[in-house]
Structure 1
């Protein structure tokens, strides 16, 4: 596949998708949205892929929406921003969270607007020490989208979520780690390799089982205790029918490393 606004490759079970509009801090225009959609579809169809890594090229991860891609004419009728959300951002966030394999986000540099919330839809967020998360929406009279109003209160609490959303102040990577918003912080020069090392490890693990873990944890926010126990029962039943479960038990009994196939 030939892309103009993203880079995409597959190696050792890992799909690497990198936003590639560095001159615009990898902000989204419609063309990049469409390429990301195409790459995600390809990832789902590729039986070799067991982990997805999302990152950005250049000095920033993503500055959110490219405002120059929207014609905001003060003398014209106001644009319907909800259409952009419905067509692009909401499907992206839903797909990342429900992706049937681990999704790692490696945040390099600035992550602003939608670019600050897309990582939160991923499973493991590794940030460069220089990275910063900015809920910039309030600066132009908008609300946090791309799941921001859902993820932030759950990750950092309501008081801190309101602080970030109402003030739009940068949250540095170390503080984001301290607040429980991300998984890990590494030196800038080590970010890509650390993310890929983690991805290569996950690519050797029981992929379907990991997908069931994601599903159980994500749905726990919407369930009462009894319903969640029922979900655990149902997912465990399915996990117990996988070849990876058989291999895991066999390897344990034979006192050897398991060789999972993601089946």
Structure 2
């Protein structure tokens, strides 16, 4: 059996790989800890989350879940607070871009993790779905929040209440991903994207992530009030000041995140 989760760092890009398709407690704990580690690693400026083989993530390990329900239900029933919520919060609050390289099947909490990421690179053979109501449960991993904002409330209701799988082509049509790539190219395309982002203004990315998340549930006035201080903070950075100088000199700016 492969490691639950592995992390590799190449330059300023960290790639976190789910080594097993289902989310056992071991996988969830390892993913939670790996995300927390790269979030605070100052050398890492972009993160990729991906799976192994033809599977990104199939969601909860139901065999383990069933065994725990029979013998120690608290191990399963506490998993939202202990694992899923910290994982999603780590992805969304991380002050650097996170890319989901969805190499294959992506359902349940795995789908929630992908939607929590900033960008998705999607295999054209991937099958996606919510799956929760199919086993008598409801959304977790932030899916009740992210899905309706991605596809609209009406379609989100349908996808959750009628948990049929849908195709990668549907995901692009609905705006969940921008484009499809061949399965063998998912990681390379995501890596190229991550390298480009890592060389960019990461402080601006962090502020932008925070603003977009806040604006999803705020008024226009609240959004305007948040944008001003964010611009003031960024206006004092070396990245901004250097980029303005480079622009005026017709040179390519160099961003350091400072």
TM-score class, shorter: over 0.9
Match of 1:37 in 2: 32
The answer as to 2:53 corresponding to 1:58 is yes
CA distance in 2, matches of 1:33, 1:150: 21
1:11 match: 10
- 1:127-165 per-residue CA deviation (whole Å, 9 max, x = no partner) reads 000012111111111112111111111111122112211
Structure 1 length-normalised TM = 0.92
In the other structure, the counterpart of 1:94 is 89
Shift of 1:28: 1.1
Deviations along 1:92-117, one digit per CA (max 9) or x if unpaired, are 11111111000000101111111111
Alpha carbons 2:106, 2:126 under 8 Å: kept = yes
Corresponding position of 1:164: 159
Q: Write the mapping of 1:1-263 to structure 2, written as runs, cut at 5 A.
A: 4-21=3-20, 26-72=21-67, 81-263=76-258
Cα 1:74/1:108, change in 2 over 3 Å: closer
In the TM superposition, what is the alpha-carbon distance from 1:80 to its structure 2 partner? Answer: 7.2
Q: Which runs of 5+ in 2 are unaligned?
A: none
My pick for the range that moved more, 145-154 or 100-109, is: 145-154
Shift of 1:74: 7.9
User: How big is each residue's C-alpha offset from its partner over 1:66-109, in whole Å with a ceiling of 9 and x where there is no partner?
Assistant: 11222447877865754110110011111111110000001011
Q: Do 2:108 and 2:131's aligned partners in 1 also have CA atoms closer than 8 Å?
A: yes
What CA RMSD, in Å, does the superposition of the two structures yield over aligned residues?
1.8
| Post-superposition offset of 1:191 | 0.8
Where do 5+ consecutive residues of structure 1 fail to align?
none
Give the Cα–Cα distance (whole angstroms) in 2 for the partners of residues 243 and 134 of structure 1: 43
Residues 72 and 79, structure 1, Cα contact 8 Å, conserved in 2 = no
Q: TM-score, normalised by structure 2?
A: 0.94
| Paired residue total | 257
SS, match of residue 150 in structure 1: helix
Cα 1:79–1:44 change in 2 (3 A) is closer
